[in-house]
Every structure is written in C-alpha cells, then in structure tokens.
A = this chain, B = another copy of it.
C-alpha cells in the first residue's frame, strides 16, 4: 500500500509520507497540527501520482504547484540503487536540483518511495464567495488586475455559462445558479484581513462589471459552494447519456491570453456542434475543457480530437503549454514535441537514457525512445 505518514515535523513545517497517501487523507490526519499540505488536485489523488505529474489545483494561485511544495524525494533508480534528492532544509543551492528533475517525470526516471512535503499554516478563517461576470474576458481582466495589485487570494476559479448550467442540471449544490461566467474565490486570514481583502477584491471586480459578491454563510454552505467547483468534472460525467464520454483537456497560457484562448475554444466547440464546458484556474492562465461526445460515433470522435488539437495549437501559438497540470502520458507526446522542439526533447531523452539506459521505467510515456523516430539510435 505504501500509504503511511512516516514523520510529521510540525516545527519544521514538513511531513514525510509514502507515495500511496492521499492528499485529503493526509490533511485530515495532520489537522491537529494546525498545518496542511496545500496542493489540492482531484479528491482521489495520491502524493506519488501528484509528484509524477507535477500537478496543482485551485490553491496554486496562493501556494504554487507540486514543484514548489516538495522538500525532497527518496528514489529507487533503474539500477536498483536508492538515493535521496536532498536533505530537509527548505532552501538549498547544493548541486543539481534533482528533486525537481523527478517531479513531473511521470515515473520515467525512478520510482519514488518517500516524499517530504512542505506544509503551510491553516488560515485562521477561510471565506468562500462567488460573483458573476458578463463574459470570461471581464472575469479574466479582473483576475489580472487583482494579481497585479498584489491582492493575495486563497483561490480564484472560473466556470463558464455551460458549466454553471451543468452544475444546475447535476443538482447537489442545493440551489440554482445563473448560467453565466462565475468566479469562485477563497479569501483567507483573520476577520480583519478577510474584510480588507474582500474590500480590495470587490472594488476591482466591480470595475470589471461583476455582479454582487455572495458569501457562503455557514461552513456547510461553504463546502457546498466550493463543491460546485471541485466536482465540476463529476457534474459533467453525471449528465452522460448512453455511449457518451467526456474528453477533458488542460492547457495553460501567459495570463493575459486566457480570455482569448477560452473564447476561441468555445467558438470552436460551437462550430463543431459539440457540447463542452470550460473551467479554469483563472489566476494561473490555466483552463480545462470538458467535451462530451459519443465514443461510438467516429465523426464525433474525429471532431473532439480535432477540437482538442486546435486548443493545444492555440496555446502554443500564445507561448503556452499543452498541459498545465495533467501531464503528457501517452496522449500528448506529439504535442510535447511541438511545444518543446527537438533540441529540448533530445535533452530529455539524453537525461532519461543516462539514468535508465535500458528504458525499463514507464517506457513510452512523455516521449519515445529515439530509435522509434531516429533509426540510427541513441
């Protein structure tokens, strides 16, 4: 199972865990320390997988992604030897940054057996609020101005009109939402700090045509409100009819280009006659599209694949990436070549080859062995 918490060092604000620990389980087990691990992807994610894909979540705008929140890794290498990427200081300039070499390498460089994670202080209070905007453009402009003003939000998420409709149809949030672009935010601190951050946020949101800011009153309401965001994918899945599948994708662009790529993607979906919702980490320039399609209908499969391809092309044209937090796996290997270019792919292949000369670790993921594209071999 490898699902143990090995050691909690509350005074150093770190915790040592095995890879099979779920992040939600970890946080409930250490809750009495007043600390938590702030990276919050899908509820079922485990730390080992989160290291593998360098994932993130709604808290990234405040706490960063996996690469910002891992202190060290213990790794078994291809030849069976075991190493630790570094000790437990938060800061180090000692040699190559092996920790971040393994994070996001999707199991292709070694097998992670133990992880030391940075912990953050649980904020005294967390307020959850929502507000609507006439367009994704307005919401995105507001988000940019908030970040540029240095207003520290706990989280800042967007769901489009379609996604809000999906949430309504899936039910379970105990209310009916207006089907318009809606921003979900967390504001953290003590009462004084929350009041001040709220004032600053509201001012900029209003200038960008937001509706009223509506706060969850109780902890239950808060959980229900945030659940609407965290369960967006499940809402979509619950609407599936027979043979329908949901294709989810994830691209990221420089912050200011987010509304443009979302609008383009929505137009594309409409032109192709597909049904898709958009939700995004608006403070990180990162969004997800959930496209529904009939897996038995070859023309729909072709359309959804074309649509997803164009989303990546648009992202790369904007100096973005084909994946902000999901990783490459098998499905995005050709996208990675388009994004990184042959020189950078060559560097990755060389690094892989130097640590795993027989390509026994998760072969075929992220990129192919050079012999498959280059008959001369490595």
Q: Does A214 interact with chain B (Cβ within 8 Å)?
A: no
| Residue in B101, B149, B286, B351 whose beta carbon sits within 8 Å of that of A91 in the complex | B286
Residue of A94, A121, A124, A350 with highest tally of chain B CB at under 10 A: A94
Binds B, one of A8-16, A127-135, A220-228, A294-302: A8-16
B residues near A55, Cβ cutoff 8 Å:
93
Q: Measured between alpha carbons, how far is A121 from B323 in the docked complex, in Å? A: 26
Q: Does A22 interact with chain B (Cβ within 8 Å)?
A: no
The tally of residues in A whose CB lies under 8 Å from a CB in B reads: 99
Q: Does A273 interact with chain B (Cβ within 8 Å)?
A: no
Q: Which residues of chain A from 276 to 296 have any CB-CB distance to chain B below 8 Å in the complex?
A: 281, 284-286
- Per assembly, the copies of the chain total 2
Q: Does A89 interact with chain B (Cβ within 8 Å)?
A: yes
| Residue in B11, B255, B326 whose beta carbon sits within 8 Å of that of A255 in the complex | B11
Q: Measured between alpha carbons, how far is A84 from B345 in the docked complex, in Å? A: 11
**Are A94 and B321 within 8 A (Cβ)?**
yes
**Are B67 and A100 within 8 A (Cβ)?**
yes
Q: Which residues of chain A from 65 to 112 have any CB-CB distance to chain B below 8 Å in the complex?
A: 65, 67-68, 77, 81-98, 100-101, 103-105, 109
Query: 4 closest Cβ contacts across the A-B interface?
Result: A121-B150, A11-B256, A354-B354, A83-B343
